Structure 1
Amino acid sequence: MRIGIKGLGMLVAAVLLAGATWFSWLVWGQGGSSGKMLNEVRNKAAGGASDTAKQQPLKVVESVQKLKGEYDVIVAGTDPEGVTAAISAARSGLKVLLVDGRNRDILGGLMTIGWLNTLDLNYAPEASMIPGKHNFLNKGIFQEWYDQVEGTSFDTHTAANVFYDMVRHEPNIDLLMKVKEMNPITEPSASGSGKRVAGIELVKADGSKQTVRAKAVIDATQDADVAAAAGVPFTWGREDIGDKQSQMAVTLVMKLSGVTPEVWQSFGKHKDTGMDAMSVWGFPEMKEYASTNKERVRMRGLNIGRQNDGTILINAMQIFGVDPLNPQSVQEGMEIGRKEAPHIVQYMKEHFSEFKDLELAGTAPELYVRESRHIQGEYRLTMADLLDNRDQWDAIAYGSYQVDIQSTNYQDPGAVMMHPKQYAVPFRSLVPKQVDGLLVVGRAASFDTLPHGSARVIPLGMATAQAAGVAAQTAIENNISFRQLSQSADAVKTMQDKLRQRKVELSMQKFDPPAYTKHKAYPGLKAAVSMFATTGGYDNMQWKLDDKSNAQRFVNNMLAVRKAHPDAFKGEPSAALKGMTDPAKQPLTLEQAALTLGNAMGLKTLEEKTIRHLTERGWIRQETIKAIEQPAALTNGDAFMLIRDIVATFAGKTYE
């Protein structure tokens, strides 16, 4: 086919335009101040992300009239993970009871009642070449649901209706709402070791009790309530890094009204702020807001999700000191947030022209709780897994969201630990220790508190839930327990094959290993990151391995190590700074590092606190000393390697 000069010019222009569009999407779509991918404006016919979309009325959710005495699977919890687990099991041919235990009227929980309508998404390392088209690591049921809502943020009515439609169209699911109590039935396991969950005793909305037995139970409650009641061991909050009294802040989402198309477009013009058709992230100046309740409430930059009724939902209010398992504490947190919300909105109206005509239209009916219990499973996801971008032989889902550690108190700024490319969640992380017949999905699964900062996001939770439904089918068909399934390569492969048949992608993509993994101090970095002694930021560059450390910074490093291992490090590392002027400006010498280590270890004499003594005792490896190029000015990488050695040899803990 021949193309004339005019036609050739038009073709070149089209190619250049397409290339510019693709380049713009590639550059802007990977980041933003919160690491979200920019989405091109998308107008969907169903529900729509357009300025003329109308909010759907909520569909009335109906409960089953008569329960069976036994089901193949009981799923506890109607958050997105519970809905997904129920659908997955039902599509596997199992009879399923899906139970709500939080007095809800609709499905979707945190998304639809907690109003968390902006998604934290796991993007694949290899981006889609089509502008506006996202390539997620979590496909399957999550992708099916996502394709029916508006986009990276969604209208909560749309989301609730889609969840309900997906459930009610499955004939194998019985749905029971507003249950007052769910108490697990336990009995000795068939192996004679430990116990198994054999069903749940329900107290229904009318106060009547009914015992329902099941071949398998999936705990999709936010806080692993069923698992804890059954005796599953767990850690609380940051307990695994030595801080049991702390967990990430909770949030009360706010609703603002009066958002016209012009107002919406104005948000994206604000400095350090990005947007797509349904989401806005930025306004970092909100951190300067002076709370009326300083020790309990603080603001962070805004995450804004668009609704279809001229309103927006804002996830940015951090509330501290709330115990999510204590109803009185939860109610107090709600009241603190409701009281603070008008002051926050007034501040926004006065300081940002984009908000001057908007009004507070309410707060969410439920708190957004980020962290509580972390169960102890057959495998515990670690920071080393994420740093290594590690695959697992029993992978059932993949994540890539940044490790976002929210503040624990008003003085804590929070941190982004790092941004993995892709890591696997193993099936073993859903299988609790000591109790069989039970799987735990979502944020309460077996994750250390730090990697939980990434693995807690809902799309990954939905992926683990889909795997749990298929695992139930696999275990029942093969007449094995979940623990036996987790130990059988053949059974796991069967489960993985079933997931692939359901459009779940279970493979690592190809990408170059991150630069930090090739650094000589990488083993030390893994140890330091795992103990929350350093953070890498969104770009994995803030560790600054080749930059010079200083005397104060190394003390700060060791304070984090002492918190993580208090039984081993009972001394005071800051004693090493005695008599030193402005230690943050003093280079970290090898001997100063040894003095700091010795003090942290509780060694008594000055001789014991020298590098010679530490190496002679085998606490510091000779290889580590030889790798130090400038003993008079250690780098951060040098410091981390010393920490790695001393924790491995003195505390007996390695982070590999």
Structure 2
Amino acid sequence: MTRLAVAALAALLTLSALALPALATPQHALQLEEPARGPQVLVAGGTPAGIAAAVAAARKGLSVELICDRPYLGGLLTGAMMDQWDLNKAPDGGRIEGGLFRDIYDQLGESFDPQSAEAVFQRLVASYPEITLHLDTQLLAVTLAGPELDRRVESVTFQDRETRARLEIRAPVVIDATDGGDLAALAGARYDVGRQDTGLDTKMQAATLMFSVDGVDWHTAVRSYDDTRYGEGGATEKKLWGYTRLLRTYEPLSPRVIVRDLNLGREPGGRVTVNAVDVVGVDGRDPKSVAEGAAIARVEIFRLLAFLRARVPGFAHARLAAFADELYIRETRHILGLTLLTAADIWHGRIPYDTIGLASYPLDIHPTYVGEPPAYAPVRHVYGVPFRAMVPHGFDNLLVAGPAISATHVAAGSVRTIPTTIEEGEAAGIAASFSLRRGVDFASLALQRNLMHQLRTALVQAGAVIDVARR
């Protein structure tokens, strides 16, 4: 790898000037920190939100370092086999997402395979020389400056998992686009975990292991779907969902598993993905808990597949093709921002002055424990995502874009979806340019209506939709 060669050369050139231990070797030298770098924007997270942030900033001519914890771009879309969109729609059924999301959607379509998603993201990032990409690179440390209520992220240290070389990056603007708000949490930002805001406990929404199957007769499955027999559902050429009534007769093997319904996606090659197996009690911040949840789900999937073969038309010859590489973690932290998005904001369709994008996905709360009843009907209300929810309290050069923005446990059931996080990422990248060029910090930008008006104008010029009537 290129970075390995650079790191090794740098280490060798400095050996004579460093007091290395007597037994030091070139391998030890590789772990020395590289000199701090200075891009204009640092984006942590190769998620769809992180990619959108990096591209939006690059389009404004800013230099960007994009750090991806995974060995591939795309986050849950590629790693968790999330091969279809949870779309935001207007009351008339029209789309209310614009900008970068629309560009990506037009390339991938309604349903896609993880390889196609990865390729689209890779091409998108590679098309901007302003972006320097680091894959499979983990977050290690954050250095801060300034008083407690006016802190700045001074530098962030990462480590390449393959070479073990450390990389310290200094940037005037930092965007945390990790799914769990990992950088903000490491920097000391305040946050709730799971449903902590309810005062009950810190239980989190169930995690899901998706899987794919070959041998499904898709046309038979679609034609035979009957709401009376299987429960309310629906189908398109590439999507099929429902079976709630049928699955009430399914008895999970594990007491931690819930199978409420099926969400099926038909990939271009005919393979079918299945989103069905929820596992409760998984802490997405803890690798051991995640590994345990994935193991439980894998065993359960064999049992569920046998049930589907016997009970679902079109599945008689279905055979397991693959498990997703990782669990779909819906919820971990909610970073405290300058405002808190609530279920009431969503249910009443509030559009605040600092709206950076529109959303309408229902309040889709997956259970935190077996037997938890649904809290809200699957009804859509168009609402605005507030920029203030992306600004961590007490920080002036840090933004959060992704499922970890400032929202309650229930509100996160809607705002966590990937199209919405892409809107947030694009807004973060454009806000980075606005902040640097105007010399204004994010807290001031968020709280001054005249500045927010200017930022929203820039978002609209980039294709974002912030007004249903003008989409």
TM-score (norm 1): 0.64
- Once the two structures are superposed, the pairs formed by residues 139-154 of structure 1 within 5 Å of their partners are 139-151=98-110, 153-154=111-112
Q: Distance in 2 between matches of 1:64 and 1:382?
A: 46
Quick one: which amino acid aligns to residue 145 of structure 2?
A: E
Q: Distance in 2 between matches of 1:409 and 1:174?
A: 42
Q: Give the count of matched residue pairs.
A: 437
- Once the two structures are superposed, the pairs formed by residues 10-159 of structure 1 within 5 Å of their partners are 69-102=37-70, 104=71, 106-127=72-93, 135-151=94-110, 153-159=111-117
SS at match of 2:50: helix
Quick one: which amino acid aligns to residue 157 of structure 2?
A: E
SS at match of 1:314: strand
Match of 1:196 in 2: 152
- Once the two structures are superposed, the pairs formed by residues 164-313 of structure 1 within 5 Å of their partners are 164-188=122-146, 193-205=149-161, 206-260=163-217, 262-263=219-220, 265-266=222-223, 268=225, 271=230, 272-284=232-244, 285-293=246-254, 295-313=255-273
SS at match of 1:171: coil
Match of 1:412 in 2: 372
Question: Measured at CA, do residues 228 and 441 of structure 1 come closer, stay the same or move farther in structure 2, by a change above 3 Å?
Answer: same
Which structure 2 segments of 5+ residues have no match? 7-33
* Pairing 1:335–2:298 present: no
- Once the two structures are superposed, the pairs formed by residues 450-529 of structure 1 within 5 Å of their partners are 450-509=410-469
Question: Measured at CA, do residues 181 and 391 of structure 1 come closer, stay the same or move farther in structure 2, by a change above 3 Å?
Answer: closer
Would the aligned equivalents of 1:217 and 1:437 in 2 still touch at CA under 8 Å? yes
Question: Measured at CA, do residues 261 and 249 of structure 1 come closer, stay the same or move farther in structure 2, by a change above 3 Å?
Answer: closer
SS at match of 2:197: helix
Q: Distance in 2 between matches of 1:167 and 1:148?
A: 14
Would the aligned equivalents of 1:64 and 1:176 in 2 still touch at CA under 8 Å? no
Q: Distance in 2 between matches of 1:395 and 1:63?
A: 40
Question: Measured at CA, do residues 63 and 445 of structure 1 come closer, stay the same or move farther in structure 2, by a change above 3 Å?
Answer: farther
Q: CA deviation at 1:63?
A: 7.7
Would the aligned equivalents of 2:216 and 2:316 in 1 still touch at CA under 8 Å? no
Q: Distance in 2 between matches of 1:64 and 1:80?
A: 27
* Pairing 1:378–2:338 present: yes
Deviations 1:269-327 (A, max 9, x none): 6744311121111111123210111x211211100111123211111111011111111
Match of 1:611 in 2: none
Question: Measured at CA, do residues 193 and 314 of structure 1 come closer, stay the same or move farther in structure 2, by a change above 3 Å?
Answer: same
Q: Distance in 2 between matches of 1:98 and 1:170?
A: 12
Q: CA deviation at 1:221?
A: 0.5
Q: Distance in 2 between matches of 1:62 and 1:506?
A: 42
Q: Distance in 2 between matches of 1:452 and 1:423?
A: 13
Q: Alignment RMSD, CA only?
A: 2.1
Deviations 1:14-42 (A, max 9, x none): xxxxxxxxxxxxxxxxxxxxxxxxxxxxx
Would the aligned equivalents of 2:221 and 2:313 in 1 still touch at CA under 8 Å? no
Quick one: which amino acid aligns to residue 150 of structure 1?
A: G
Q: Distance in 2 between matches of 1:119 and 1:187?
A: 40
* Pairing 1:366–2:366 present: no
Identical columns (%): 33
Would the aligned equivalents of 2:68 and 2:134 in 1 still touch at CA under 8 Å? yes
Q: CA deviation at 1:261?
A: 5.1
Deviations 1:59-78 (A, max 9, x none): xx998986981111111111
SS at match of 1:202: strand
Q: Distance in 2 between matches of 1:107 and 1:220?
A: 12
- Once the two structures are superposed, the pairs formed by residues 546-585 of structure 1 within 5 Å of their partners are none
Q: Distance in 2 between matches of 1:143 and 1:65?
A: 38
Would the aligned equivalents of 1:408 and 1:414 in 2 still touch at CA under 8 Å? no
Q: Distance in 2 between matches of 1:378 and 1:330?
A: 31
* Pairing 1:346–2:306 present: yes
Q: Distance in 2 between matches of 1:503 and 1:376?
A: 28
Deviations 1:533-577 (A, max 9, x none): xxxxxxxxxxxxxxxxxxxxxxxxxxxxxxxxxxxxxxxxxxxxx
Q: CA deviation at 1:435?
A: 2.3
Would the aligned equivalents of 1:148 and 1:162 in 2 still touch at CA under 8 Å? yes
Would the aligned equivalents of 1:389 and 1:420 in 2 still touch at CA under 8 Å? no
Match of 2:385 in 1: 425
Q: Distance in 1 between matches of 2:191 and 2:291?
A: 25
Deviations 1:168-197 (A, max 9, x none): 1011111100113342221116xx843111
Q: Distance in 2 between matches of 1:287 and 1:73?
A: 50
Q: Distance in 2 between matches of 1:62 and 1:315?
A: 38
Quick one: which amino acid aligns to residue 204 of structure 1?
A: D
Q: Distance in 1 between matches of 2:431 and 2:443?
A: 11
Q: Distance in 1 between matches of 2:122 and 2:225?
A: 33
Q: Distance in 2 between matches of 1:99 and 1:64?
A: 16
Quick one: which amino acid aligns to residue 387 of structure 2?
A: F
SS at match of 1:159: helix
Quick one: which amino acid aligns to residue 100 of structure 2?
A: I
Would the aligned equivalents of 1:216 and 1:472 in 2 still touch at CA under 8 Å? yes
Q: Distance in 2 between matches of 1:485 and 1:230?
A: 21
Deviations 1:369-423 (A, max 9, x none): 1111111100111122122211111110111111111111112133335624311
Quick one: which amino acid aligns to residue 166 of structure 2?
A: K
TM-score (norm 2): 0.88
Q: Distance in 2 between matches of 1:278 and 1:186?
A: 48
Question: Measured at CA, do residues 315 and 497 of structure 1 come closer, stay the same or move farther in structure 2, by a change above 3 Å?
Answer: same
Q: Which has the higher contact order (CA 8 A, sep 6+)?
A: 2
